[in-house]
Structure 1
Amino acid sequence: MLKNLVRKFSIFEIIVISLMATLGIATKPVIVPLVHIITGPLYIPGGAIAGGLYMMWIVLGVGLIGRLGVATLISVVQAIMVVSLGIYGTHGIISFFTYIIPGLVVDLYILIAKPKGFQKGHYFVSGILANISGTFLVNMVFFRLPLVPLVLTLTAASLSGGIGGLIAYTIVKGLRKNEALDDLINRREYNE
């Protein structure tokens, strides 16, 4: 199944998917401590806030490539890196599921919404869904917060995820405005 999914993409798109996955993993250890400096004294869960910034890479990959399955592939690559290399976190094999679910949720949203072009609202909703699903799953597996703190955490996660989605939109918009993507992604026959 995964092999069939990968065959739908050009070599350049696979490189973009790998890059987005790597940037998502690489920025996490930098972003989380910085966010904890601000959120710790306020007793706000830092992972929910930081999540929007590193889930942004999943949404950015979808925006750059614009095809169904991109978010899932990015999250699968992230999960494989985290589990096999022990890059971030000590959750073991459970990390495989906590990393894949946000990508699956974003692809499910794309499948249901069927956007003709990925617009600002799609980036926003994709960021929210990715971060809420990741935050909710991590809470269910590890923290098991009571209802009120869980709702507050998911609210913070939705705000952060939406902001991450808008940042991804701004990046893609800037690249399209400068026509940086036209010569790369639209030349599929040269990349296969």
Structure 2
Amino acid sequence: MFWQKFIANFSVFDLIVVAMLSALGIATKPIIVPITHIITGPLLIPGGVVAGGFYMMWLVLGAGLTGKLGTASLIGLVQALMVFGTGVFGSHGAMTLLSYTMPGVAIDLMLWLTRHRICCLPCSFFAGVLANICGAAFVNILYFRLPFVPLMLTLTVGALSGGLGGIIAYKVLQQLKKTGFGSKTA
């Protein structure tokens, strides 16, 4: 019942956006991860923290394109199901469902609390920051269990990377809206 009401809020266009951005997020992962490991390896920072900013970009972009609450969570859930179902890129097992979905929930919660819809640079930036911090903290709790100082360094780098992803998403959204693509309400 909940899922029917939730999905009914999305148009076919919105669901296509969710599917496309979910696929793009998963497809770009094998390209981004090796590049980020070159940078993060010598610094002993988990590579996913830096790469995460670029994963979160797709969630922020989707939320901006549809202008609807729940879009980022839905993109994260679809990505998790793709990874979980194929097993190609997932190393988190069943926790993949949470590790991919929780950053989207963080974005949607922030948008709900602030009443923004990826409408300005600050909300896009902070959506990316929150999503990547949420993802990095969640993975740290489950797997890495870093000591305090390395954890703070990791979360700081994650915040910067997530914010950059949010800025990129906002700039892409601006260009797409100039062409008439996307939500007219966002």
User: What band does the TM-score fall into relative to the shorter chain?
Assistant: over 0.9
In 1, the alpha carbon distance for the partners of 2:7 and 2:17 equals: 13
2:10 maps to what in 1?
Answer: 9
2:32 maps to what in 1?
Answer: 31
Displacement of 1:185? 4.4
1:190 maps to what in 2?
Answer: none
1:82 maps to what in 2?
Answer: 83
Displacement of 1:175? 1.3
Is 1:174 aligned to residue 170 of structure 2? no
1:56 maps to what in 2?
Answer: 57
Q: TM-score, normalised by structure 1?
A: 0.91
Q: TM-score, normalised by structure 2?
A: 0.94
Counterpart AA for 1:32: V
C-alpha distance 116-62 of structure 1, shift in aligned 2 (>3 A): closer
Task: Answer whether contact 1:12 1:185 (CA < 8 A) is retained.
Answer: no
- Give secondary structure in 2 for the equivalent of 1:93: helix
1:72 maps to what in 2?
Answer: 73
Displacement of 1:119? 0.8
1:139 maps to what in 2?
Answer: 140
Counterpart AA for 1:40: G
Displacement of 1:117? 6.3
In 2, the alpha carbon distance for the partners of 1:116 and 1:185 equals: 10
Task: Answer whether contact 2:129 2:159 (CA < 8 A) is retained.
Answer: yes
- Give secondary structure in 1 for the equivalent of 2:64: helix
- The one-character-per-residue Cα deviations of 1:53-104 (angstroms, maximum 9, x if unpaired) are 1111000001111111101110110111111111212221111111110011
Structure 2 gaps, min length 5: none
2:156 maps to what in 1?
Answer: 155
- Give secondary structure in 2 for the equivalent of 1:23: helix
In 1, the alpha carbon distance for the partners of 2:129 and 2:64 equals: 15
Counterpart AA for 1:163: L
- The one-character-per-residue Cα deviations of 1:6-64 (angstroms, maximum 9, x if unpaired) are 11111111000111111111111110111101221232321111100111100000111
Counterpart AA for 1:50: A
Paired-residue identity, %: 49
- The one-character-per-residue Cα deviations of 1:124-167 (angstroms, maximum 9, x if unpaired) are 00000110000000000011001111011000000000000000
In 2, the alpha carbon distance for the partners of 1:89 and 1:116 equals: 30
Task: Answer whether contact 2:104 2:131 (CA < 8 A) is retained.
Answer: yes
- Aligned-residue Cα RMSD (Å) equals 1.4
In 2, the alpha carbon distance for the partners of 1:117 and 1:78 equals: 20
Task: Answer whether contact 2:18 2:75 (CA < 8 A) is retained.
Answer: yes
Task: Answer whether contact 2:60 2:118 (CA < 8 A) is retained.
Answer: no
Equivalent runs, 1:177-188 vs 2, <5 Å: 177=178, 179-181=179-181, 185-186=183-184
